A and B are shown apart, each in its own frame.
Chain A
């Protein structure tokens, strides 16, 4: 069975400081990993996926299969980055997505 772990419930950083939201996974197959973001009073939306190797809103995430991690990083946090961030893993024939428990990022002005 797959599992996604986000060890931090809350991460507070000052504006301009670097951000790293941790995500570890366990999955026997070849994983497909995502980060989703939920801003206050908005719906969940895809932030980025590992296969795209993209940078969205300054965020990047690298899949490290050796450490089974997919940490989300941004060099300089902005106030508008404050939100809930969920790491997710997609698997199975129906492409079921398993979510981590989420990390609330709070950027202090």
Chain B
């Protein structure tokens, strides 16, 4: 079946630094990938829809300049959290669509000190 990977699985960074998270579809091509944020004991919140070769579509309330998304190829989308703050600490999950099904990555735990 379709597999989506994320790297890194866990990252700790200092406040003010930028962190890049990669999302890869390993055995299929994905023109569309999605980035979610999951708060403790809460649902997944869609942050943005990443489209290969074009600008990402951000959900209302998500700062596009803070959460930079790049979908440079059909198998890779990256999320860069710029000038990270402690409130950005969260679990970030990507998903990729294949044949009308979304496949989820294992998530990346970001901790900003």
Residues of chain A having any CB pair with chain B under 8 Å: 9, 43-46, 86, 94-102
Closest Cβ neighbor of A97 among chain B residues: B102
**Distance in Å: Cβ of B20 to nearest Cβ of chain A:** 20
**Which B11-58 residues have a C-beta within 8 angstroms of A?**
32, 34, 36, 41-44, 46, 49, 51, 57
Q: Which residues of B contact A95 (CB under 8 A)?
A: 32, 97, 100
Q: Are A43 and B43 in contact (CB under 8 A)?
A: no
Main secondary structure of the interface of B (DSSP, over half): strand
Q: Identify B44's interface contact among A9, A46, A86, A94, CB under 8 A.
A: A86
Given A86-B44, A100-B43, A101-B43, A46–B32 Cβ distance below 8 Å?
Answer: no
- State in angstroms the CA–CA spacing of A98 and B36 once bound together: 10
- Smallest CB separation, B37 vs chain A (Å): 11
- When the two chains form the complex, which single residue of B32, B46, B57, B104 contacts A43, counting CB atoms closer than 8 Å? B104
29 A–B pairs (Cβ distance < 8 Å), ordered by A: A43-B93, A43-B105, A43-B106, A43-B107, A44-B95, A44-B104, A45-B104, A46-B101, A46-B102, A46-B103, A86-B43, A94-B32, A94-B57, A95-B32, A95-B97, A95-B100, A96-B34, A96-B46, A97-B34, A97-B46, A97-B102, A98-B46, A99-B36, A99-B44, A99-B46, A100-B43, A101-B42, A101-B43, A102-B42
Q: How large is the interface on B (under 10, 10 to 19, 20 to 34, 35 or more residues)?
A: 20 to 34
- A102–B43 CB distance below 8 A: yes
- Residues from chain A with Cβ under 8 Å of B101 in the complex: 46
Which residue on chain B has the smallest CB distance to residue A98? Answer: B46
Residues of B within 8 A of A44 (CB): 44, 93, 95, 104
